[in-house]
Amino acid sequence: MSNNLLTVAYIAASILFILSLGGLSNQETAKLGNLYGIAGMILAVVATAMTSQVTGYGVLITSMLPAILIGVLIAARAAMTSMPQLVGLLNGFGGLAAVLVGYASYLHPDPALVGVEFTIHKLEVFIGVFIGTITFIGSLIACGKLQGIVPSKAVLIPARHGVNIAMLLAVISLGYVYMTAIELSGLIPLGIMTAIAAI
């Protein structure tokens, strides 16, 4: 699987995680939200396993077994009433994984990517990190609200629509700076965009 296709798969997985969070927000759609989360994680794992860099499937399976065991133990011990926040939290780690993979892919790009392919790769990294950050932070907040740690009442700041538009314009501007940056100098706008997406 090419790096471009891998990045697209990660973006699709991140979108599924976001849909999962939306579904887990109420009981009527919780089952569908859970299915979105499962589909997103399966997509991310399968896409990773199909990359050319993965050659030792024995090592991959061995590293996955403890994660599966931990997941099963956590799910078995969690009460049904706390299952939505558990799923939300675990989905958040999928978003965090997308962010970390995006940064790793930017710092160590495939040397075979040149010209238009490299440009597409950079754009995919930017979008993937943006969506992954929103997924991760949104999952933490949703989990906190469901657990009662974070107040469930919506926080409405004055002129929030203007602030949202300003942040969106800032992200677009940072995207331009990032796309036109030479070598690793795009790491600064990528980092600032990540911070904005986390707000």
Domain boundaries of the chain, sorted by first residue: 3-153, 156-199
Query: What mean pLDDT do residues 6-17 have?
Result: 86
Give the CA distances from residue 144 to residues 62, 125, 131, in Å, rounded to whole numbers and listed in that order.
32, 28, 20
pLDDT value at position 194? Answer: 97
pLDDT value at position 107? Answer: 92
**Neighbouring residues of 156: CB distance < 8 A, sequence distance ≥ 6:** none
Q: Across 34-48, 145-159, 179-193, which has the greatest mean pLDDT?
A: 179-193
* Cα end-to-end span (Å), the chain: 34
Residue 17 clears pLDDT 90, i.e. is over it: no
pLDDT value at position 1? Answer: 62
Q: Rounded to the nearest 10 degrees, how much is the dihedral formed by the CA atoms of 39, 42, 46, 47?
A: 50
- Alpha-carbon distance of 128 to 190, in angstroms, equals 11
**Neighbouring residues of 57: CB distance < 8 A, sequence distance ≥ 6:** 49
What's the pTM value of the predicted model, to 2 decimals? 0.71
- Alpha-carbon distance of 11 to 130, in angstroms, equals 10
User: Per residue in 163-176, pLDDT tens?
Assistant: 999 999 999 999 99
User: Per residue in 85-143, pLDDT tens?
Assistant: 887 888 888 899 899 999 999 998 888 888 898 999 999 999 999 999 999 999 998 88
Q: Report CA torsion sign: 11, 17, 20, 25.
A: negative
pLDDT value at position 93? Answer: 87
